Structure 1
Amino acid sequence: METRINELSEKQLDELAERIVFSIRKDREEERKQFKKYAEHNTALLLRYYHKLKGHTDSVKEQLEADQDTFWDHRRLDLSILMENKAKTVKLMNHVDYALEIYEKVCKNSDSAEERRHYQIIMRKYINDKRESDQQIADYFDKDRTTINRNCKEAIQDLSVILFGVDMLNYW
């Protein structure tokens, strides 16, 4: 039996509308949670592969200079896809470096000793040329390794907000 919309009472229409709104809100909340999860995962990956990505970006300038006025620079040869990928990496890494600068300022200006430690943990674990293990970092700060792991996760969440913006916040 098929029901037509004009056959529904006002109360039934209101209930239907409430269910639809509830379903849409639930879907949007799930999308926000997934975005946050992916953003934090991507932030951790960016940090983990920071040096490899920076190495990739350093090669772009050298390659452009080397290819200038050569066979590979010819207009009919299309290396644009490769160069687009390299350009995206350069742009992304510039954004990461900028986010790290902002995060450093935020952490250094914090009243919380724990938050001030967050930036240093990220630097020691991922960014510095001589990267340190969680245990080395824990020893340096005279903290338990689980505290360092927790601080690192919090730092990645904070850095994700700087990298990905307002979409990282659950309540908007």
Structure 2
Amino acid sequence: MEVKVNELSEKQLDELIERIVISIRKDREEERKQFKKYAEHNTSLLLRYYHKLKGHTNSVKEQLEADQDTFWNHNWLDLSALMQNKAKTVKLMDHVDYALEVYEKVCKNSDSSEERRRYQIIMRKYINENRQSDQEIADYFDKDRTTINRNCKEAIKDLSVIIFGVDMLNYW
């Protein structure tokens, strides 16, 4: 049975519009939650693989220097897709390094000892050359491992905002 819009009363139309608006709002809220979840997951992956990605970016720079004026640099040999992927990695890692610098400043200027500790935890766990386990970090700060894990999760949330921007905020 097909109903035409002109057959609906004003009240029915208003109810229909309200249902549609509510449905759209629910969908948008779910999309925001999913984005936030994925962004935090991706931030965690960026940190976990930080050294491998940085190694990749270093190899790109070395490869570009080595390939200059060689067979691989000829116009008829198209490696653009590979180089685009490598260029994306370089840009992303530059952005991650910038985000870490911003986060360091934010944490160091904080009145909260917990927030100041968060940056150090991220550095010790993911970034420093001699990475430490959660237990080693907990021992260093004389805290329980669960406190270190909670601080690390909060730091990842904070970094996600810096890396992915305003879309990480749920209230807009």
Q: CA deviation at 1:3?
A: 1.2
Partner of 1:14: 14
Q: CA deviation at 1:164?
A: 0.2
Distance 1:158 1:71 in 2: 46
Distance 1:62 1:154 in 2: 36
- The C-alpha deviation readout for 1:97-133, integer Å capped at 9, x for no partner, is 0000000000000110000000000000000000000
Q: Does 1:60 align with 2:55?
A: no
- The C-alpha deviation readout for 1:68-124, integer Å capped at 9, x for no partner, is 111111100001111111100000000000000000000000110000000000000
Distance 2:170 2:6 in 1: 38
Distance 2:65 2:100 in 1: 29
SS of alignment partner, residue 111 of structure 1:
coil
Q: CA deviation at 1:2?
A: 1.7
Partner of 1:170: 170
Distance 2:61 2:74 in 1: 18
Partner of 2:93: 93
Which residues of 2 match residues 133-144 of structure 1 at below 5 A?
133-144=133-144
SS of alignment partner, residue 166 of structure 2:
helix
Distance 1:2 1:88 in 2: 51
Distance 1:124 1:160 in 2: 18
Q: CA deviation at 1:61?
A: 1.1
Show structure 2 runs of 5+ residues with no match: none
* Residues paired across the two proteins, number: 172
Distance 2:111 2:45 in 1: 29
CA RMSD, 1 decimal: 0.4
Partner of 2:78: 78
- The C-alpha deviation readout for 1:14-73, integer Å capped at 9, x for no partner, is 000000000000000000000000000000000000000000000111101111111111
Distance 1:78 1:133 in 2: 44
Distance 1:151 1:65 in 2: 41
**TM-score, scaled relative to structure 2:** 0.99
Q: CA deviation at 1:13?
A: 0.3
Partner of 1:126: 126
AA matched with 1:34: Q
Distance 1:61 1:135 in 2: 36
AA matched with 2:66: A
Distance 1:88 1:170 in 2: 28
**TM-score, scaled relative to structure 1:** 0.99
Show structure 1 runs of 5+ residues with no match: none
